[in-house]
Amino acid sequence: MSNFQKNMFDKIQQKANINPDEVYKIADSVKHADFSDEVTVRNLIRQLARMANKPISKEKEDKIVESIVKNKLPLDPNSMNKFLDN
């Protein structure tokens, strides 16, 4: 692992109290995931929310799932922040 990666995961762990091993597990699990499958996407969102210890409303989960499955997720950081804040 590069110093950049180690520093990035150290910051994630400090700010969100997320174990880097958990991040690796999830990253590995999505390498070949079918993001057009609603069940797969919904499970991933729930897993990430649990890992971050951040509850997610059913409405927000539905909105994120629909956006990912229909490939309508905003890609630029500002739009992504607005999307997730709604």
With 80 as the cut, is the pLDDT of residue 7 above it? no
Percentage above 70 pLDDT, the chain? 67
pLDDT, average across residues 40-67 = 88
d(CA 60, CA 32): 24
Is 4 or 24 the better-scoring residue by pLDDT?
24
What pLDDT band is residue 4 in, cutting at 50, 70 and 90?
Answer: low
As a whole number, the mean pLDDT across the chain is 79
The residue extents of the domains of the chain are 21-85
Spell out the alpha helix ranges (H) of 1-86: 3-16, 20-29, 38-51, 58-69, 77-85
pLDDT on residue 77: 66
